[in-house]
Amino acid sequence: MTGMWDWHDAQGLSRVINVSGTMTGLGASVTAAPVQQAVAAAMGRFVKMHELQASASEVIARLTGAEAGFMTASASAGVSLSLAGCMTGLNPGAAEALPRDPGQTPNVVVQMGHLCGYGAPISQAVELTGGAVRSIGQSTLCTDYALEAALDETVAAALYVVSHHVVHYGQIPLRRFAEICHARGVPVVVDAASEYDLRGFLAAGADIVIYSGHKFLGGPTSGIVAGRRDLVRAGYLQNIGIGRGMKIGKESIAGAIAALEAWETRDHDGIRARERAALDLWTGALAGIDGVAARIVPDPTGNPLDRLEVHVDAARLGAGAGSVAGLLASRDPAIIVRDHEVELGYFQLDPCNLLPGQAEIVAEALVTALSDKAGLAQAAPVDARNGGVAGYLNWGAV
Upstream peptide bond of 99 is cis (omega within 30 degrees of 0): yes
Q: Does 180 bind ligand PLP (CB under 6 A)?
A: no
Query: In whole angstroms, what is the distance from residue 222 CA to residue 152 CA?
Result: 33
Which one of 161, 174, 329, 335 is in contact with ligand PLP (CB under 6 A)? Answer: 161
- CB contact at 8 A, 252 and 71: yes
Residue 115 C-alpha from the chain's centroid = 15
DSSP state of 27: T
Q: Does 325 bind ligand PLP (CB under 6 A)?
A: no
Q: Closest CB to ligand PLP among 74 and 238?
A: 74
Classify 253 as helix, strand or coil. helix
Q: Does 82 bind ligand PLP (CB under 6 A)?
A: no
Helices and strands (DSSP H and E) totals, the chain: 17, 12
Count other Cβ atoms within 10 Å, centred on residue 31: 22
Q: Please state, in angstroms and as integers, the Cα–Cα distance from residue 235 to each residue in 129, 238, 264, 383, following that order.
A: 11, 6, 26, 38
Mark the segment that binds ligand PLP (CB under 6 A) among 71-79, 144-152, 262-270, 318-326. 71-79
Q: Does 303 bind ligand PLP (CB under 6 A)?
A: no
Query: In whole angstroms, what is the distance from residue 215 CA to residue 27 CA?
Result: 10
Which helix or strand (DSSP H or E) is residue 346 part of?
strand 346-349
Mark the segment that binds ligand PLP (CB under 6 A) among 191-199, 312-320, 341-349, 356-364. 191-199
Q: Does 197 bind ligand PLP (CB under 6 A)?
A: no
Kindly state the smallest distance separating residue 281's Cβ from ligand PLP, in Å. 28
Q: Does 220 bind ligand PLP (CB under 6 A)?
A: no
- For the window 228-267, what string marks contact with ligand PLP as x by the rule CB under 6 A? ----------------------------------------
Mark the segment that binds ligand PLP (CB under 6 A) among 60-68, 74-82, 86-94, 383-391. 74-82
Mark the segment that binds ligand PLP (CB under 6 A) among 84-92, 171-179, 187-195, 238-246. 187-195
Q: Does 191 bind ligand PLP (CB under 6 A)?
A: yes
Q: What are phi and psi for residue 310, nearest 5 degrees?
A: -110, 110
* Residues at the site binding ligand PLP, with contacts judged by CB under 6 A: 24, 74-76, 118, 161, 163, 165, 191, 193-194, 212, 223
